[in-house]
């Protein structure tokens, strides 16, 4: 069973996969056992059996602190139902800070006391060897201890308080007691007996609650936009998108019986008010306010945000959730504590734990850091963002722009590092009621400038955390500055900015007040030999070979495969052994995973701080909800967006953008530096891109008089169904073998209900009369109009087209012009290169390029180079450019294309084929024409893949540009077929008529492989415009293509 909102290729992708792993070759999966780099000693005694009413069945480890760390904030949030000794003593103290410290130590004291007492009892009864301690057999022991227990706790408390106030060391791990909750008049408990690392078997209680009322039965799409004419598109086509289950509450993903829950714990939260148990609480209309900044007065009386009891219990679980997710990442590399207390560490392991990851919180952004870092200002301001998102159920989007190494070439898209970070973060935020997505918009053989010129349209206007990684292809700091600046200026939010080194972030932090962070590589254990590597944690194996190693680490770098067998589908084409694209400068999937984990830890540590801040603000402000000034974000975003204009380093300092080829450009041809500080917009056929239909160049392209965007074929890539249905099965290169820990599942612990899965399947059925057989693309019945089959792209669109009919009428129609070549009307010879089929939105929830002819269905590549091309016979290309506010329109153009990029005009001798296009073809002739166009489109796809690869090789290792002959450098031509005339018009008026030499004078290079033409640059021109362009006097060999249109 597959949650449509779960990333593909990972264990938590669907319940069915979890079941497979239960019943697979390895047998039933029991509790998770950590295999550390150095064998750890077992913990003494069982989990604390001293259960007080209302306490949750969890054990809180010392988390991401050292063994010598004092018990601080994340140790204890509890919901006791009666006054404990700790609270009693604290209530007699007048110092508020001491009271707070005492409350935070409450669980630590209880757990330490219970473990100590049980250890003493066990040792005295079995010569120092701990005995099993089943809950059911503890009655006698408890009766003996009960008379002295309270006195001992009070004495221990006083000693602990003194030690805490002096900053002494508490024990590495603390425990909280275990007890089931009462539901519907009875207590539901499940016991799981399991052992860890040789220590005594334990029984853990599982707390079940009624979650029926919290389940979501409606699937949604990331965007409500429907490209006109695609209403009848088949499921999982680009036009239809991939629906998913939205995150609507804190309970829908609860799974106390999932595998990792037994050792690592689970999100054990229940509404403390019986009135709302199993029911959704009322919420305000968040959409009525900018950025969902609802006034506190608008929260209904029973809203969970108003309930102190709900918030205290919820934040307690949230802290534990973040804590175990952090520990899960640590444990993947052999240095993490599990929540059941089954893992202890040697001194060497503790030292390695400290080296594995550190997040330095700097006062001064310019201060040197020895690892990953952020600033105090950034922590405070990001805490506001996180509190806001949790309170309002907002989204959290982690966005990357970069080159081929960042895109995951050689590793597989879903194993690229930003997606790996998302795998860890998504389940954490889901439990908190926040829909989280990671997006990888990196493109092979390119940089980020071509995306940044479209503002935030191609990367999401709701991005919260934006990372730049394109140093290999973009050396100038002005481009980095432009990318980061546009992320703030053009979006609806002011995102956290991140880069690998972070040196370019200082001005954005100090002047604009933006939050910033940088990621370091951290520590990894060495691999020495094939024998020794068996003791290295799975995720770290072969990642770092020590000096004198007898094993080749590089030989194990690329392990991502192309297929995992499944019962319902067998590929028609033999699948490659591994994902292609490996290169010396492309890291393998294990390296990507490690880097992604480092990024996830930065976000999790910041989230951890935000939860602490929330509790602190509530304590100071008198409860929940906290004051609006601490969590509203609109003014915060606006302030940064205004101040970022004062940040130096963009093209404003050198007043012009662009360069010519072996000559100087006229000032009018440079793109204006004002683009740095105004919100840009854009459309393209390149990908991946956010909301691919809405941001498609075709969404602003006018169809011809026959209603067609692409008249050469009956169908198109936007309407192409995938060869098989999601999800992909998790590969052994993604999910470790048991008992190795896997961080995403430690945080996830979810399983879909049967009803939810059945609803999803109903949503995905292609027609009411039956689903599509496995491995077959969905077919849609033909629709006729006037005797002519209506292209799929325009079905459902009202059209004034005169139908072309068969027989004598068709012969007469063929002699008659459909279009007048002298008017500015969309031509009949426009050629669309659609690019990859499927849902290619840059996220792990995509279902991209799943075509039957693929030899690597799990590669997940989303690099896409679609374009719209025309030659001297094609006629006008017409685009609607709406909402121009700053008087600028420009485009990325490819003037060096050839006749094979416009196959639609093959055989033509006149513009628009004499005004008839190819609409005069009938019967078998039409079928052969369509087949030929489809074949040529597939060849164009192969050329696209080759061009992407050549673009990547253009840089080579260390920027070596000698290994390709492709015309991407400074010598790229302005046309390869001889002289031509290029014309463009705005609102029906011809604004420019240039021959090839004149076109070349205006053709401006902004960056590598980024050549542009400026059509408008007048601040006084605003509103909606029609932009048209064509080639004349050139015939078939004179070709022009457009890939991006930009405006502001």
Return the closest-CA partner of residue 157 out of 100, 87, 73.
87
User: What are the phi and psi torsion angles at 721 (to 5°)?
Assistant: -80, 155
pLDDT digits (tens, 9 = 90+) for 199-232: 334 445 788 888 889 999 889 998 889 988 888 8
Residue position matching structure tokens 């052999």:
334
- In angstroms, the Cα distances linking 288 to 293, 961, 1048 are 9, 53, 27
CB 1042 within 8 A of CB 1011: no
Number of helices (H) and strands (E) in the chain: give both, helices first.
21, 30
What local confidence, expressed as pLDDT, does residue 780 receive? 30
Radius of gyration over every alpha carbon of the chain, rounded to an integer in angstroms: 31
Return the closest-CA partner of residue 249 out of 297, 301, 214.
214
* Bond preceding residue 739 cis, omega within 30 of 0: yes
| Dist. CA 432–CA 426, nearest whole Å | 10
Cβ atoms within 10 Å of 291's Cβ, excluding its own: 19
Q: Can you state the angle between helices 477-489 and 634-643, rounded to 10 degrees? A: 150
Judged by DSSP in three states, 201 sits in coil
Please give the sequence-ordered ranges of beta strands (E in DSSP) within 876-980, or none if there are none.
Answer: 877-884, 888-894
- The DSSP annotation for 125-173 comes to HTTTPPPP--GGG-HHHHHHHHHHHHHHHHHHHHHHHHHHHTT----S-
**Which residues on neighbouring strands pair with residue 362, listed in sequence order?**
375
- The DSSP annotation for 243-302 comes to -B----SSSTT--TTSTTHHHH-------SSGGGTTSPPP---GGGSGGG---GGGS-TT
| Dist. CA 587–CA 403, nearest whole Å | 12
Judged by DSSP in three states, 324 sits in helix
What local confidence, expressed as pLDDT, does residue 340 receive? 80
Cβ atoms within 10 Å of 568's Cβ, excluding its own: 9
**Which residues on neighbouring strands pair with residue 1040, listed in sequence order?**
870
Token pair for residue 125? 């009864």
Q: What is the mean pLDDT of the chain?
A: 76
Please give the sequence-ordered ranges of beta strands (E in DSSP) within 501-540, or none if there are none.
Answer: 516-518
| Dist. CA 836–CA 1001, nearest whole Å | 34
| Dist. CA 422–CA 910, nearest whole Å | 53
Token pair for residue 262? 């037994």
What local confidence, expressed as pLDDT, does residue 791 receive? 36
What local confidence, expressed as pLDDT, does residue 543 receive? 94
Cβ atoms within 10 Å of 1033's Cβ, excluding its own: 12
- In angstroms, the Cα distances linking 488 to 145, 440, 508, 511, 514 are 62, 18, 10, 13, 9
What local confidence, expressed as pLDDT, does residue 814 receive? 41
| Dist. CA 914–CA 924, nearest whole Å | 22
Return the closest-CA partner of residue 222 out of 845, 969, 888.
845
The secondary structure element, H or E, covering residue 998 is helix 996-1002
| Dist. CA 420–CA 417, nearest whole Å | 5
| Dist. CA 707–CA 87, nearest whole Å | 75
Residues in CB range of 18: below 8 A, 6 or more apart:
11, 12, 258, 259, 751
Q: Would you say the pTM of this structure is higher than 0.85? A: no
What local confidence, expressed as pLDDT, does residue 147 receive? 42
Cβ atoms within 10 Å of 167's Cβ, excluding its own: 7
The answer for 13, left when phi > 0, alpha when psi is -120 to 50, beta otherwise, is alpha
CB 757 within 8 A of CB 46: no
- Collect contacts of 118-121 with beta carbons under 8 A, ≥24 apart: 118/45, 118/46, 118/49, 119/44, 119/45, 121/145
Ranges of the chain with pLDDT below 70: 1-204, 501, 652-656, 660-665, 712-715, 749-821, 922-927, 929, 933, 948-972
The sheet carrying 981-986 orders its strands as 877-884, 1023-1032, 981-986, 989-995
Residues in CB range of 367: below 8 A, 6 or more apart:
none
| Dist. CA 517–CA 599, nearest whole Å | 10
CB 729 within 8 A of CB 406: no
């Amino acid at each position: 069973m597959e949650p449509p909102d779960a990333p593909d290729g990972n264990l938590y992708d669907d319940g069915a996969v979890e079941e497979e792993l239960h019943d697979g070759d390895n047998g039933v999966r029991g509790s998770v056992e950590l295999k550390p780099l150095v064998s750890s000693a077992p913990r003494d005694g069982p989990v604390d059996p001293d259960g007080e009413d209302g306490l949750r069945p969890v054990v809180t480890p010392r988390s991401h602190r050292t063994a010598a760390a004092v018990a601080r904030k994340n140790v204890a949030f509890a919901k006791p139902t009666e006054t404990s000794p700790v609270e009693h003593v604290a209530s007699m103290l007048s110092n508020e800070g001491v009271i707070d410290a005492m409350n935070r130590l409450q669980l630590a004291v209880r757990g330490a006391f219970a473990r100590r007492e049980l250890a003493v009892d066990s040792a005295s009864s079995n010569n120092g060897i701990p005995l099993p301690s089943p809950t059911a057999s503890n009655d006698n022991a408890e009766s003996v201890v009960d008379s002295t227990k309270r006195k001992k706790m009070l004495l221990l408390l006083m000693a602990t308080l003194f030690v805490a106030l002096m900053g002494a060391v508490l024990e590495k791990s603390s425990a909280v007691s275990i007890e089931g909750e009462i539901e519907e008049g009875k207590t539901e408990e499940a016991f799981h007996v399991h052992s860890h690392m040789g220590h005594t078997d334990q029984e853990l209680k599982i707390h079940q609650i009624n979650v029926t009322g919290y389940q979501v039965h409606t699937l949604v799409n990331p965007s409500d936009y429907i490209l006109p004419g695609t209403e009848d598109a088949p499921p999982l086509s680009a036009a239809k998108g991939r629906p998913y289950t939205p995150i609507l509450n804190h309970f829908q993903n609860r799974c106390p019986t999932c595998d990792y829950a037994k050792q690592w714990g689970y999100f054990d939260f229940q509404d403390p008010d019986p009135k709302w148990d199993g029911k959704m609480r009322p919420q305000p209309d968040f959409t009525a306010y900018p950025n969902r900044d609802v006034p506190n007065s608008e929260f209904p009386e029973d809203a969970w945000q108003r309930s102190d009891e709900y918030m205290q219990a919820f934040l307690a679980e949230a802290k534990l959730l973040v804590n175990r997710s952090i520990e899960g990442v640590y444990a993947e590399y052999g240095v993490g504590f599990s929540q059941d207390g089954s893992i202890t560490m040697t001194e060497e392991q503790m030292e390695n734990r400290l080296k594995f990851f550190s997040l330095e919180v700097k006062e001064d952004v310019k201060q040197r850091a020895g690892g990953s870092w952020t600033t105090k200002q950034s922590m405070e301001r990001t805490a506001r963002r996180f509190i806001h998102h949790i309170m309002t159920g907002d989204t959290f989007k982690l966005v990357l722009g970069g080159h081929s190494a960042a895109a995951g070439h050689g590793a597989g898209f879903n194993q690229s590092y930003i997606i790996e970070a998302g795998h860890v973060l998504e389940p954490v935020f889901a439990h908190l009621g926040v829909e989280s997505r990671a997006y990888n918009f990196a493109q092979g053989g390119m940089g980020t400038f071509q995306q940044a010129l479209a503002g935030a349209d191609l990367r999401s206007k709701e991005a919260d955390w934006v990372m730049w990684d394109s140093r290999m292809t973009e050396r100038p700091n002005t481009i980095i500055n432009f990318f980061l600046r546009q992320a703030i200026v053009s979006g609806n939010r002011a995102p956290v900015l991140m880069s690998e080194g972070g040196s370019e972030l200082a001005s954005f932090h100090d002047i604009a007040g933006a939050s910033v962070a940088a990621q370091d590589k951290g520590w990894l254990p060495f691999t020495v030999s094939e024998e020794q590597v068996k003791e290295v944690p799975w995720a770290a194996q072969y990642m770092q070979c020590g000096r004198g190693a007898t094993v080749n680490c590089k030989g194990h770098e690329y392990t991502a495969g192309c297929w995992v067998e499944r019962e319902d589908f067998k590929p028609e084409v033999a699948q490659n052994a591994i994902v292609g694209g490996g290169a010396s400068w492309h890291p393998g999937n294990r390296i990507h995973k490690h880097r992604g984990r480092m990024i996830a830890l930065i976000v999790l540590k910041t989230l951890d701080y935000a939860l602490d801040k929330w509790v602190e603000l509530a304590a100071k402000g008198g409860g929940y909800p906290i004051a609006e000034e601490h969590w509203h974000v609109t003014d915060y975003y606006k302030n940064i967006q205004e101040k970022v204009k004062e940040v130096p380093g963009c093209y404003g300092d050198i007043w012009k953008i662009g360069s010519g080829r072996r000559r100087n450009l006229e000032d009018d041809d440079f793109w204006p530096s004002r683009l740095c500080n105004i919100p840009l917009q854009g459309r393209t056929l390149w990908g991946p891109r956010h909301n691919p239909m809405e941001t498609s160049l075709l969404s602003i392209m006018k169809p011809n008089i026959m209603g067609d965007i692409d008249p050469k074929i009956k169908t198109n890539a936007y309407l192409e169904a995938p060869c098989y249905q999601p999800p992909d099965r998790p590969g052994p290169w993604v999910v470790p073998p048991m008992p190795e820990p896997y961080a995403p599942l430690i945080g996830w612990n979810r399983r879909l209900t049967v009803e939810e899965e059945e609803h999803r399947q109903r949503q995905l059925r292609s027609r009411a009369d039956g689903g599509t057989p496995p491995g077959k693309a969905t077919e849609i019945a033909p629709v006729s109009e006037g005797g002519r089959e209506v292209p799929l792209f325009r079905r459902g669109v009202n059209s004034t087209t005169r139908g072309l009919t068969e027989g004598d009428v068709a012969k007469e129609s063929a002699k008659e012009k459909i279009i007048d070549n002298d008017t500015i009307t969309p031509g009949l010879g426009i050629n669309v290169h659609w690019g990859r089929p499927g849902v290619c939105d840059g996220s792990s929830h995509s279902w991209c390029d799943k075509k039957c002819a693929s030899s690597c269905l799990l590669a997940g590549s989303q690099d896409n180079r679609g374009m719209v091309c025309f030659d001297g016979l094609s006629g006008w290309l017409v685009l609607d450019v709406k909402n121009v506010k700053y008087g600028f329109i420009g485009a990325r153009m490819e003037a060096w294309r050839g006749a094979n990029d416009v196959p639609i005009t093959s055989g033509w001798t006149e513009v628009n084929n004499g005004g008839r296009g190819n609409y005069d073809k009938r019967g078998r002739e039409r079928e052969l024409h369509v087949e030929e166009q489809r074949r040529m489109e597939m060849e164009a796809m192969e050329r696209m893949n080759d061009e992407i690869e050549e673009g990547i090789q253009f840089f080579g290792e260390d920027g070596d540009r000698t290994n390709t002959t492709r015309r991407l450098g400074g010598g790229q031509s302005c046309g390869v077929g001889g002289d031509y005339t290029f014309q463009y018009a705005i609102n029906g008026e011809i604004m420019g008529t240039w021959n090839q030499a004149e076109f070349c004078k205006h053709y401006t290079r902004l960056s590598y492989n980024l050549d542009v033409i400026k059509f408008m640059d007048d601040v006084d021109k605003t509103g909606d415009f029609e932009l048209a362009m064509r080639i004349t006097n050139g015939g078939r060999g004179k070709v022009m293509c457009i890939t991006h249109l930009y405006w502001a």
